[in-house]
Copies of this chain bind each other. A is one copy, B any other.
Amino acid sequence: MVGLLRSHDINPTHQRIEIAYVLFSRQEHLSADQVMALVNTHHSETSKATVYNTLKLFVEKGLVRELIVDPSKVFYDPNTHPHHHLYEINTGKLSDIGAEYMQVSGLPPLPAGTVIEGIDLIVRVRRAS
Protein backbone atom coordinates (compact mmCIF):
# COMPACT_ATOMS: atom_id res chain seq x y z
CA MET A 1 0.00 0.00 0.00
CA VAL A 2 2.83 2.34 0.94
CA GLY A 3 4.55 1.46 -2.31
CA LEU A 4 1.40 2.10 -4.29
CA LEU A 5 1.08 5.56 -2.78
CA ARG A 6 4.77 6.37 -3.28
CA SER A 7 4.61 5.24 -6.90
CA HIS A 8 1.85 7.79 -7.44
CA ASP A 9 3.87 10.50 -5.79
CA ILE A 10 1.75 10.58 -2.67
CA ASN A 11 3.28 11.01 0.74
CA PRO A 12 2.08 7.90 2.59
CA THR A 13 0.69 9.17 5.85
CA HIS A 14 -1.23 7.02 8.28
CA GLN A 15 -4.62 8.33 7.16
CA ARG A 16 -3.86 8.02 3.47
CA ILE A 17 -2.76 4.44 3.90
CA GLU A 18 -5.97 3.63 5.74
CA ILE A 19 -8.11 5.21 3.05
CA ALA A 20 -6.21 3.56 0.23
CA TYR A 21 -6.57 0.24 2.02
CA VAL A 22 -10.33 0.64 2.33
CA LEU A 23 -10.60 1.38 -1.39
CA PHE A 24 -8.26 -1.29 -2.71
CA SER A 25 -8.93 -4.19 -0.36
CA ARG A 26 -12.50 -4.51 -1.56
CA GLN A 27 -12.94 -3.90 -5.29
CA GLU A 28 -16.00 -1.69 -4.99
CA HIS A 29 -17.25 1.74 -5.82
CA LEU A 30 -17.42 3.73 -2.62
CA SER A 31 -18.75 7.16 -1.84
CA ALA A 32 -16.89 9.55 0.45
CA ASP A 33 -19.45 8.75 3.13
CA GLN A 34 -18.82 5.06 2.87
CA VAL A 35 -15.06 5.51 2.94
CA MET A 36 -15.48 7.66 6.03
CA ALA A 37 -17.58 5.00 7.75
CA LEU A 38 -15.25 2.16 6.83
CA VAL A 39 -12.10 3.95 7.90
CA ASN A 40 -13.65 4.75 11.26
CA THR A 41 -15.25 1.39 12.00
CA HIS A 42 -13.30 0.75 15.17
CA HIS A 43 -12.54 4.08 16.77
CA SER A 44 -12.94 7.36 15.04
CA GLU A 45 -9.57 8.05 13.49
CA THR A 46 -9.95 10.20 10.43
CA SER A 47 -11.91 13.38 9.98
CA LYS A 48 -14.37 14.19 7.26
CA ALA A 49 -12.11 16.92 5.89
CA THR A 50 -9.24 14.49 5.56
CA VAL A 51 -11.35 11.92 3.78
CA TYR A 52 -12.45 14.53 1.24
CA ASN A 53 -8.94 15.97 0.88
CA THR A 54 -7.45 12.56 0.41
CA LEU A 55 -9.96 11.35 -2.13
CA LYS A 56 -9.41 14.50 -4.13
CA LEU A 57 -5.67 13.96 -3.96
CA PHE A 58 -6.01 10.35 -5.08
CA VAL A 59 -8.06 11.45 -8.08
CA GLU A 60 -5.53 14.13 -9.04
CA LYS A 61 -2.70 11.64 -8.80
CA GLY A 62 -4.57 9.10 -10.88
CA LEU A 63 -4.80 6.52 -8.14
CA VAL A 64 -8.57 6.25 -8.31
CA ARG A 65 -11.24 7.35 -10.73
CA GLU A 66 -14.06 9.69 -9.84
CA LEU A 67 -17.50 8.57 -10.97
CA ILE A 68 -20.25 11.09 -11.48
CA VAL A 69 -23.26 8.93 -11.91
CA ASP A 70 -25.49 9.33 -8.92
CA PRO A 71 -27.24 12.69 -8.76
CA SER A 72 -26.41 13.18 -5.10
CA LYS A 73 -22.95 11.81 -4.45
CA VAL A 74 -19.65 11.11 -6.11
CA PHE A 75 -18.30 7.56 -6.19
CA TYR A 76 -14.67 6.55 -6.28
CA ASP A 77 -13.50 3.61 -8.32
CA PRO A 78 -10.18 1.96 -7.47
CA ASN A 79 -10.14 0.38 -10.93
CA THR A 80 -8.52 2.83 -13.33
CA HIS A 81 -8.34 0.45 -16.28
CA PRO A 82 -10.72 1.25 -19.15
CA HIS A 83 -14.19 0.02 -18.39
CA HIS A 84 -17.75 1.28 -18.22
CA HIS A 85 -20.50 1.44 -15.63
CA LEU A 86 -24.01 0.26 -15.08
CA TYR A 87 -26.19 2.18 -12.71
CA GLU A 88 -29.49 0.96 -11.29
CA ILE A 89 -31.61 4.04 -10.89
CA ASN A 90 -33.98 2.60 -8.32
CA THR A 91 -31.40 1.26 -5.94
CA GLY A 92 -28.38 3.47 -6.65
CA LYS A 93 -26.34 0.31 -7.19
CA LEU A 94 -23.31 0.74 -9.38
CA SER A 95 -21.43 -2.03 -11.16
CA ASP A 96 -18.71 -2.47 -13.75
CA ILE A 97 -19.11 -3.26 -17.42
CA GLY A 98 -16.01 -4.84 -18.88
CA ALA A 99 -14.50 -2.92 -21.78
CA GLU A 100 -15.12 -5.96 -23.96
CA TYR A 101 -18.90 -5.55 -23.79
CA MET A 102 -19.16 -2.05 -25.21
CA GLN A 103 -16.99 0.07 -27.44
CA VAL A 104 -16.89 3.75 -28.13
CA SER A 105 -15.65 4.98 -31.48
CA GLY A 106 -14.98 8.42 -32.81
CA LEU A 107 -13.99 11.61 -31.13
CA PRO A 108 -15.61 15.00 -31.23
CA PRO A 109 -13.80 18.21 -32.09
CA LEU A 110 -12.47 19.53 -28.78
CA PRO A 111 -12.63 23.16 -27.76
CA ALA A 112 -9.32 24.88 -28.52
CA GLY A 113 -6.75 24.46 -25.78
CA THR A 114 -8.40 21.51 -24.08
CA VAL A 115 -7.34 17.91 -23.72
CA ILE A 116 -9.39 14.85 -22.92
CA GLU A 117 -9.43 13.94 -19.27
CA GLY A 118 -11.63 10.89 -19.66
CA ILE A 119 -14.63 9.41 -21.41
CA ASP A 120 -17.45 8.06 -19.33
CA LEU A 121 -19.98 5.59 -20.62
CA ILE A 122 -22.86 4.86 -18.31
CA VAL A 123 -25.76 2.52 -18.87
CA ARG A 124 -28.70 3.48 -16.71
CA VAL A 125 -31.22 0.75 -16.00
CA ARG A 126 -34.48 0.72 -14.15
CA ARG A 127 -36.39 -2.14 -12.63
CA ALA A 128 -39.02 -3.20 -15.20
CA SER A 129 -42.49 -2.38 -13.95
Contact = CB atoms under 8 A, between A and B. Distances in A.
Main secondary structure of the interface of A (DSSP, over half): strand
A107 B114 contact: no
B124 A110 contact: no
A103 interface: yes
In the complex this chain forms, how many copies of it are found?
2
A70 B86 CA distance: 18
Nearest to A73: B71
Interface stretch (A9-17, A35-43, A115-123): A115-123
Interface in A75-129: 84, 86, 88-89, 95, 97-98, 101-111, 113-128
Interface residues of A, number: 40
Given A117-B126, A121-B121, 5 more contacts: A88-B111, A88-B114, A115-B125, A115-B126, A121-B122
Interface of A: 66, 68-71, 74, 84, 86, 88-89, 95, 97-98, 101-111, 113-128
